[in-house]
Amino acid sequence: MIPVPFLTLLLFLPLAGSLLLLAMTRRESLARITALTIALAETLLACSAWFCQGSTTPQAAPPGFFLFLDRPWIETLGIRYTLGMDGISLLLVILTAFVTTIALLVSWRSIKERVALHFLLILAMESGIIGVFLSLDLFLFYLFWELMLIPMFFLIGIWGHDRNIYSAVKFFLYTMIGSLLMLLAIIGIYLIHGQQSGVYSFGLSELIGTNFSTATGLWLYGAFLLAFAVKFPLVPLHTWLPDAHTDAPTAGSVILAGLLLKTGAYGLIRFGYPLFPEAARTLTPLLIGLAVAGILYASWIAFAQKDMKRLVAYSSVGHMGFVALGIGAWTPVALSGSLLQMINHGLTTTALFAMVGMLDEQAHTRQIEDYGGLWSKIPIYSAFFVLFAMASAGLPGLNNFVGEFLILTGSFKVAQLATVLAFIGVILPLVYTVRLIQEVLFQEERRPLSMTDLSLREILILTFLALADIVIGMHPAPLLEVLKVPVALLTGGAP
């Protein structure tokens, strides 16, 4: 049995680590090693949470949560320090720890200035993201929601390239506008619930079941949806993403695509739907419509891209559209598919961004037209690239297929037309993926570039990701098992 402050430890270890890094701004190699050690420790810690599942439910925990912590914080306002972990949080927290470690490894050599600060920001962001995934108090959630933005802003702004300031500000403004509206909505719920029940509280389990008039519910849910849709991102709120990705350093792209995008979907699942079931049902056609539009539109646009990072960024928009479709359908199968797809997308896109970053590091260009014939020069790299590209295109046997297929299976019941259109969206990724493979790996080289194949560190990173891709693709059962209880509770079906 793990002692109670486990969640607190999980939450604040990276933040503590980043404070430790403050003292090492002059000693780069020490900073690297410290950061990696902390990230690894965090990964271990996150994985150890896996084994808490079977244990008895802690007292006062909402159903489905196997780890729970509830302490008063600002009592006069009804703000509590409530953390909880169920299957959904568990998987996302493990993903967070994993992807952060990879982000650190990816920027091991490529970052040359202000190394300690870079790693410090990544670790601080990890705390923020984990906080988002663990908070069960709306105020706490909002706090972490904002906390994870700020390091990303600096990551893009300081280490980015090209129009980094423009992209950083764009990213910040977009997400900020969304989250400020969400803050208003949170306060709105707080007040309405307080007036109805006389108990002023930000706790999620307290607030669930608050009655809203139809219009109020729609307004509040709309504000939540907007904040989450920006993060998702749903068309037409997606334009910050390609810019942010293109100009971010590799580690920034990795975390942005692998983790930050997931917070939007998570928020919708954890807070949006349970708090406003009525309004969510009313706006489901909108969500599904935007999701399908995003799948088709982004995949189509990705085909025209000339910049590899931008292409992968648009592909992210398309893939997150599938997640949105599954959430919109809100059937048990579709929702487990969506959650699994969040993990899958995190792994695959992380790998793709990391790989594009590796090319960029050597050749200092991300333009597709500068490459060609890489297969004969760097075969190991190319083999990995094909693997991840195929995973991203949804080849069965690899992870993305599992998620997409479950989403589509589950959604068909609810939205036939949308699912049929989404099936067309399944082949569009293939179109741009094979084009990318052909132009970058096949044919003759178009510019003489001297490339060296992957280093051992890079092979290690990619092997882990590839193994994860294949294992999830062939044997997703354990993950689906973990998701079963929370998904059943959320959708109201039998587990």
Partner 1 sequence: MKLYLELIILLPLLGGIVNLLLGGRLLPRRLTELLACAVIWGSFAATLGAAASYTAPVTVELGSWLAAFDFKAPFTLYLDPLSLSLCLMITFVCGLIHIYAVGYMKDDPSFVRFFALLNLFVAAMLVLILAENLPLLYLGWEGVGFCSYALIGFWYRKPENATAGRKAFIVTRIGDIGLGIAIVWMFQLFGSVSITKLNSMGYLMPIGVITALGLLMLLAAMGKSAQVPLMVWLPDAMAGPTPVSAQIHAATMVTAGVYLLMRMFPLIGVSPTVTAAIAITGALTAFYGATCALVQRDLKRILAYSTISQIGYMMLGVGAGAITASTFHLLEHAFFKALLFLGAGCVITAMHHEQDIFRMGGLRRTIPGTFWPFLAGAVCLAGVPLTGGFFSKDGILGAVWLKGGGFYGTLYFVGLITAFITAVYAIRMVLIVFAGEVPLNHSLSKGEGKPLPRIMEWSLIPLAVLGVFGGLLNLPEYLGSGVLNSFLSQPGSHEGMLPHATELLLQGVAAVVAVAGISTAWFRYGGDRRQQRLALESAPARGISAFLMEGWRVDALYDFMFVRPYKWLSSILWQWVDEGCIDDTLDRTAALFGRFGHWIGARGDGRVSRSLIGMAAGAALMIGWLAWVML
Footprint on this chain of partner 1 (rule: CB under 8 A): 173, 236, 239, 297, 300-301, 303-305, 332-333, 336-337, 373, 375-376, 383, 386, 390, 395-397, 401-402, 405-406, 408-410, 412-413, 419-420, 423-424, 426-427, 430-431, 434-435, 438, 441-444, 474-477, 480, 483-484, 487-488, 493
Q: Taking the complex as a whole, how short is the minimal distance between the CB of residue 422 and partner 1, in angstroms? A: 10
The DSSP annotation for 185-213 comes to: HHHHHHHHHHHHHS----BHHHHTT----
Q: Are 425 and 351 in contact (CB under 8 A)?
A: no
Q: Taking the complex as a whole, how short is the minimal distance between the CB of residue 353 and partner 1, in angstroms? A: 20
Q: Token pair 């049929």 is at which residue?
A: 420
Q: Taking the complex as a whole, how short is the minimal distance between the CB of residue 290 and partner 1, in angstroms? A: 13
Distance CA 357, CA 351 (A): 10
Which of 175/336 has CB closer to partner 1? 336
Which of 113/444 has CB closer to partner 1? 444
Q: Taking the complex as a whole, how short is the minimal distance between the CB of residue 380 and partner 1, in angstroms? A: 11
For helices 332-363 and 308-329, angle between their N-to-C axes, nearest 10 degrees = 170
Q: Taking the complex as a whole, how short is the minimal distance between the CB of residue 336 and partner 1, in angstroms? A: 4
For residue 415, CA distances in Å to 131, 337, 406 come to 34, 15, 14
Which of 221/314 has CB closer to partner 1? 314
Which of 191/424 has CB closer to partner 1? 424
Which of 52/386 has CB closer to partner 1? 386
Distance CA 160, CA 107 (A): 12
For residue 207, CA distances in Å to 28, 201, 276 come to 47, 7, 10
Which of 63/423 has CB closer to partner 1? 423
Q: Taking the complex as a whole, how short is the minimal distance between the CB of residue 170 and partner 1, in angstroms? A: 8
Q: What share of the chain is helix, strand, coil (3-state, %, to 5)?
A: 75, 5, 20
Q: Taking the complex as a whole, how short is the minimal distance between the CB of residue 439 and partner 1, in angstroms? A: 9
Distance CA 392, CA 427 (A): 11
Distance CA 185, CA 279 (A): 13
Distance CA 394, CA 397 (A): 9
H/E stretch holding 8: helix 6-22
For 371, phi then psi, to 5°, come to: -105, -175
Which of 117/479 has CB closer to partner 1? 479
Q: Token pair 């995003």 is at which residue?
A: 294
Q: Taking the complex as a whole, how short is the minimal distance between the CB of residue 467 and partner 1, in angstroms? A: 12
Report the amino acid identity of residue 230: V
Which of 73/405 has CB closer to partner 1? 405
Distance CA 296, CA 277 (A): 28
Which of 108/166 has CB closer to partner 1? 166
**Cis, peptide link before residue 236, omega less than 30° from 0:** yes
Report the amino acid identity of residue 388: F
Which of 275/426 has CB closer to partner 1? 426
For 401, phi then psi, to 5°, come to: -60, -45
Distance CA 152, CA 248 (A): 9
Q: Taking the complex as a whole, how short is the minimal distance between the CB of residue 375 and partner 1, in angstroms? A: 6
Q: Taking the complex as a whole, how short is the minimal distance between the CB of residue 85 and partner 1, in angstroms? A: 21
Which of 363/434 has CB closer to partner 1? 434
Which of 249/425 has CB closer to partner 1? 425
Residue 308, token pair as written in the block:
């590899």
84 beta partners: 68
The DSSP annotation for 51-104 comes to: GGTTSPPPTTPPTT-SEEEEEEEEGGGTEEEEEEE-HHHHHHHHHHHHHHHHHH
Q: Taking the complex as a whole, how short is the minimal distance between the CB of residue 151 and partner 1, in angstroms? A: 23
Q: What is the SS3 assignment for 263?
A: helix
